[in-house]
Structure 1
Amino acid sequence: MNTYLDQLHPYPFEKLNLLFQEITPANLPAISLSIGEPKHPAPQFVINSLAENFQHLSSYPASKGLLELRQAIASWLTQRFHLHHISAEQHVLPVSGTREAIFSFIQAMVSKDDYVVMPNPFYQIYEGATLLAGATPYFINCTEENNYLGDFDTVPQHVWEKTAVLFICTPGNPTGAVMSCEQLKKLIQLSDQYNFIIASDECYSELWFEHPPVGLLEVCAEMGRHDYKNCVVFHSLSKRSNLPGMRSGFIAGDANLLAPYLKYRTYHGAAMPVQHQIASTLAWADEQHVADNRALYQKKFQLFQHELGHLLPLVKPDAGFYYWLKVDNDEKFAQHLMQHANIKVLPGRYLSRDTTHGNPGENHVRMALVADIEQCEQVIQRLKNIL
């Protein structure tokens, strides 16, 4: 058995179940705001495409994916991030969900005793993949003092010297903070200095309010780095298109990284089913459903700010669909909402780790505004009743 398995932490939702073990929920219909699972309807044209292509169930999908899908992704990246050149053949690889891709990318790129630097709080796959590769996670605390973006100047030189991968998440999960072009340029310069990979998780990039967030490849293009050296991005249809169950995403960037990663995936990792690839091609080519989806989230945030802004310290994020809410005690707050309103939220300490400078998730809760408008209105009324 892999001895590194013992180092894995329980997943946040396992901890949440234990927290509620002794709690009797209010006698109301349960509403979950704890998990980032979109509840908006999936695009009908995607559903139709899946139904029309079930004959491909009899076909093995190629590891590299359909050329048409890679071309659609390359076209979307070019338009969305103002790229000068990106090759569907060399710079793009479809994957069966970014969760799986992030995990397998670390296994392919990281050696024992390397560091993998990551934000704290974070998506737990970053840490789990690092530990199972025999590497060491190094956490950068994302706090209110640094606008929840982390202070990269605090990382010691000896850590950078042994860093294989730097994970960034922009817009951030759970904070919704967006890195600026200047911050990304600084990280690219650090990558050049210490020769590490920058892996940018950009799965929330299309859920913005005023302005679309800048992306890592976009900054590379602005710097004239059209080979995207040591830079990769992860994108998904889960949040953008309300398709979490289709497990459809991609990794794009440096061809010198994608080639060995594809070799790894040939041996490990299921390729996306052909019918899912065909439907994904249509999804990446359409922006109207994304704009409609974005408008629904904007409406919900406006509703919460207007109705609850005087009762809770609600700070609208830069992007994404989470509130990162400051409270006196995150576990007690979550228990209180469950007991008195049957609303489930996630304590922030379950998304972060203790460090010498404290636990940056402690005394925050993550509220995912994924429920429909009607349920959100119920949440608001219940919170008004107990606050």
Structure 2
Amino acid sequence: MIFPERFSNLPAYAFPRLRALLDPHPAGGPVANMTIGEPKHPFPDWVPEVLAANVEGFASYPPNDGSPELLDAISGWVGRRYGVDFDAQSRAMALNGTREGLYNVAMALLPEEKRGKRPVVLIPNPFYQVYMIAAISVGAEPVFVNATRQTGFLPDYGSLPAEILDRTVAAYICTPGNPQGAVADAGYWKDLLALAEKHDFRVFSDECYSEIYRGDTAPMGVLTAAEAAGADPERVTLFQSLSKRSNLPGLRAGFIAGGAESIRRVRQLRAYSGAPMPLPLQRVAERAWSDEDHVIANRALYAEKYAVADEIMAGVPGYAGPDGGFFLWLPVEDGEAAALKLWTEAGVRVLPGAYFGQPVDGENPGKHYIRVAMVAPKDEMAAALMRLRGCLYE
């Protein structure tokens, strides 16, 4: 074969699948696209100024790990946000978006076998698709663990058989979750880190939505939880991004953080096979991690959207607004049928929940849901949600 068998039977990615489902049919109303999680709130007004002031940086190869100034800014933000003493000069690396890191961490850190057997990577189900492809790429067995209403929309990794856990080399977790918006609390973190210690596996924590949440209490992150548990810093890895926090998805700016040895190995892999962020973009990221005012203003806009969604969807059986992030995970009889009906009758475009999941014991946990992105301006979002409710629930 021209390409490896391990990639030969991957399902189509979510968005091509959606186009195949919907595009043969005309929209049944004014088009409202609520599919992609691309923030539409304004990014900070100082971004063009910082970019212009550093444009000469495009003439030089950028530093592989992130500039010293950017790493200092990350150190400061991690300390303020997670309440830990953190030196990003040795324990972090700037990323071209977190997907790069979520993939390469498996390539850099995971062994080819454990106890003489094929290793396992645990993945919440539904999930962000890069977790699966990272596991497959290193020859590991991806084990999908359903995150349903019964489990608080977080995976119960402790329920797995000892045979699986003893082969596990890493567990991915996303909090607040995509697509469900569930947040891991202190108890969940304590149990997960104890499980990782008992069975000797790593925890990869995707916290890209961590700065969008309800109320005044920020979600606990893996670095805070690890310090509270006295965990080895090498056991946990954090992934962060400016895409949602600062409304800068096109900047492709994030970072990976963890133990010094883990980050050394990820940096080494990047030196051989990756591409560092252009220096002008690093300067923008440096400023963004150092400024919290725009993040607070952004979170206030999402708080208004949470309230609007709760009001419009009130009384819908099974509705629960997210604890964090900007997706609604709405219960329906069948996600594909609901998405097609919504498109052909109302012009509203959403994603079937099954496109984010894999069947476990013959059942895809996303089958009976649709994912709805609350990224459009509030009034546009409200109008689309009204049409959605009228089409699907009345």
TM-score range, shorter chain: over 0.9
Does residue 25 of the first structure (1) align with residue 27 of the second (2)?
A: yes
Aligned pairs (5 A) from 1:62-141: 62-83=63-84, 85-112=85-112, 113-141=118-146
CA deviations over 1:147-201 (Å, ceiling 9, x no partner): 1112222211111121111101111110111111122122212222222111000
Q: Higher mean Cα deviation, 235-244 or 189-198?
A: 189-198
CA deviations over 1:38-95 (Å, ceiling 9, x no partner): 1111111122211221111101011111011111111111111111x21122111111
2:78 is matched by which residue type in structure 1? L
Partner of 1:8: 10
Q: What TM-score results when the alignment is normalised by the length of structure 2?
A: 0.94
The 3-state SS of whatever aligns with 1:239 is coil
1:91 is matched by which residue type in structure 2? R
Aligned pairs (5 A) from 1:1-387: 1-28=3-30, 30-83=31-84, 85-112=85-112, 113-210=118-215, 211-225=217-231, 228-311=233-316, 313-356=318-361, 358-383=363-388, 385-386=390-391, 387=394
2:91 is matched by which residue type in structure 1? H
Give distance in 1, aligned partners of 2:194 and 2:234: 11
Rate the CA distance shift 1:369–1:245 in 2: closer, same or farther, 3 A.
same
Give distance in 2, aligned partners of 1:245 and 1:45: 16
The 3-state SS of whatever aligns with 2:223 is helix
Instruction: Note if contact 1:8-1:131 (Cα within 8 Å) is conserved in structure 2.
Output: no
The 3-state SS of whatever aligns with 1:137 is strand
Give distance in 1, aligned partners of 2:390 and 2:194: 51
Question: Where does structure 1 differ by over 4 angstroms across 4 or more consecutive aligned residues?
Answer: none
The 3-state SS of whatever aligns with 2:130 is helix
Give distance in 2, aligned partners of 1:307 and 1:142: 25
Q: Measure how far apart 1:302 and its partner are.
A: 0.8
Q: Higher mean Cα deviation, 153-162 or 304-313?
A: 304-313
Rate the CA distance shift 1:359–1:383 in 2: closer, same or farther, 3 A.
closer
Give distance in 2, aligned partners of 1:347 and 1:158: 33
Give distance in 1, aligned partners of 2:91 and 2:109: 17
Q: Higher mean Cα deviation, 343-352 or 375-384?
A: 375-384
Q: Higher mean Cα deviation, 190-199 or 234-243?
A: 190-199
Give distance in 2, aligned partners of 1:300 and 1:178: 18
Q: Measure how far apart 1:374 and its partner are.
A: 2.8
Q: Higher mean Cα deviation, 332-341 or 346-355?
A: 332-341
Give distance in 1, aligned partners of 2:353 and 2:328: 11
Structure 1 gap segments, 5+ residues each: none
Q: Higher mean Cα deviation, 313-322 or 62-71?
A: 313-322
Q: Measure how far apart 1:224 and its partner are.
A: 3.6
Instruction: Note if contact 1:7-1:131 (Cα within 8 Å) is conserved in structure 2.
Output: no
Give distance in 1, aligned partners of 2:170 and 2:262: 12
The 3-state SS of whatever aligns with 2:121 is strand
1:117 is matched by which residue type in structure 2? L
Q: Higher mean Cα deviation, 310-319 or 87-96?
A: 310-319
Instruction: Note if contact 2:158-2:192 (Cα within 8 Å) is conserved in structure 1.
Output: no
The 3-state SS of whatever aligns with 1:94 is strand
Instruction: Note if contact 1:111-1:134 (Cα within 8 Å) is conserved in structure 2.
Output: no
Rate the CA distance shift 1:58–1:117 in 2: closer, same or farther, 3 A.
same
Instruction: Note if contact 1:109-1:164 (Cα within 8 Å) is conserved in structure 2.
Output: no
Q: What TM-score results when the alignment is normalised by the length of structure 1?
A: 0.95
2:27 is matched by which residue type in structure 1? P
Q: Measure how far apart 1:237 and its partner are.
A: 0.2
Q: Measure how far apart 1:311 and its partner are.
A: 4.8
Give distance in 1, aligned partners of 2:119 and 2:390: 51
Instruction: Note if contact 1:81-1:217 (Cα within 8 Å) is conserved in structure 2.
Output: yes
1:54 is matched by which residue type in structure 2? V
Q: Measure how far apart 1:6 and its partner are.
A: 0.7
Structure 2 gap segments, 5+ residues each: 113-117
The 3-state SS of whatever aligns with 1:118 is strand
Q: Measure how far apart 1:2 and its partner are.
A: 2.7
1:174 is matched by which residue type in structure 2? P
